[in-house]
Amino acid sequence: MAVFIDKKTKVLVQGITGRTGSFQTKIMKDYGTKIVAGVTPGKGGQEIYGIPIYDFIEEVITEHDVNATISFVPAKFALDAAYEAIDAGIQFMVITAEGIPNIDVLKMIQYGCAKNTRILGPDTPGLISPGKCKMGVHPNRFFKEGNVGVVSKSGALSYEVCKSMVEKSVGQSTVVGIGGGPLWGTSQTDVLKLFQGDKETKAIVLLGEIGGTMEEKTAQYIREYINKPVVSLIVGRSAPRGKRMGHAGAIIEGKAGTAESKIETLRKCGSLIAKTPQDIPKLLMDVL
């Protein structure tokens, strides 16, 4: 099994002819992802890598069975692209664009909730179920099929951690990047709930960072609902207060959101704590 995606997932790519969209589409297709169509207004009737292109999603769904979409549409058009996918009844959507206005993010998340469309992102690297399917930009060589579920705010951190895992022959069931915030369509808790119910996932890796209170809320969820081993890494221990560190959500204001407070809460709620990415495979091998 896997969470969100698997070998049967049929993917639509929005913004398929753009520089990033076309580049990543080929990599995803070569990996084995079933990409059935792409959408770029004005490019309908063309093909790319043998994939048919349409002007609108409503045209796609009359010709193809689609159950997931990944959007490489630029930030200023991302809301309209999300509305189009949601209105078409697609129930899982990955939004890669960063810099989307917060009001637009709120609108797409609320509309998706109302129409039962799960949104991953925005500003997400996507997700990968090694050996099954990839919807995103994860470097293929850093992942292998296994039984550890990984959830991360940072794409780069997840790549580094999974590379360390693979070097120690520890593989992943699914690796999910929820995005850098400050607003998320899918939270850490949402992902952990699915990992808890996934028979293939035997342990969980939580990769967090400074800013906000998501990790503290996730820690309470771990205490109450998760009975699988959880290994956590929180980055940003030396970050100064009031300075944004990379992601929009990675900023400490007041006493909340520090690495120390997150680490302590996670430890008290039963998570094993890693200090570096290289610690994670060692801790996992002790519990698997």
In the three-class reduction of DSSP (H, G, I as helix; E, B as strand; rest coil), residue 28 is classed as helix
CA angle, corner 129, sides to 55 and 8, nearest 5?
A: 55
Evaluate whether 180 touches 247 at the Cβ level (below 8 Å).
Answer: yes
What is the structure's pLDDT at 256? 59
Walk me through the domains of the chain, giving residue ranges and CATH numbers: 10-120 (3.40.50.720), 138-287 (3.40.50.261)
pLDDT tens string, the chain, 288 residues long: the values are: 689 999 999 999 999 999 999 999 999 999 999 999 999 999 999 999 999 999 999 999 999 999 999 999 999 999 999 999 999 999 999 999 999 999 999 999 999 999 999 999 999 999 999 999 999 999 999 999 999 999 999 999 999 999 999 999 999 999 999 999 999 999 999 999 999 999 999 999 999 998 888 999 999 999 999 999 999 999 976 555 555 555 455 445 555 578 899 999 999 999 999 999 999 999 999 999
The 10s digit of each residue's pLDDT in 149-196 is: 999 999 999 999 999 999 999 999 999 999 999 999 999 999 999 999
Maximum distance among all Cα pairs of the chain, rounded to whole angstroms: 57
* Omega cis (within 30) before 122: yes
Residue with tokens 């549409």: 73
Alpha-carbon span 6 to 229, nearest angstrom: 23
Amino acid at 184: W
Residue with tokens 């929005």: 14
**pTM for the full model?**
0.94
What is the structure's pLDDT at 238? 56
User: Is 247 annotated in the active site?
Assistant: yes
What is the structure's pLDDT at 250? 46
Strands 272-273 and 47-48: unpaired
What region does 181 belong to: left with phi over 0, alpha with psi -120 to 50, or beta?
left
Q: Of residues 247, 249, 257, 262, which has the active-site annotation?
A: 247
Outline where the chain has alpha helix (H): 19-31, 57-63, 75-87, 102-114, 155-167, 188-197, 214-225, 259-268, 279-287
- Find the helix packing angle between 214-225 and 259-268, rounded to 10°: 0
What is the structure's pLDDT at 268? 97
Write the secondary structure of 104-156 as one string of H (helix), E (strand) and C (coil): HHHHHHHHHHHCCCEEECCCCCEEEECCCEEEECCCHHHCCEEEEEEEECCHH
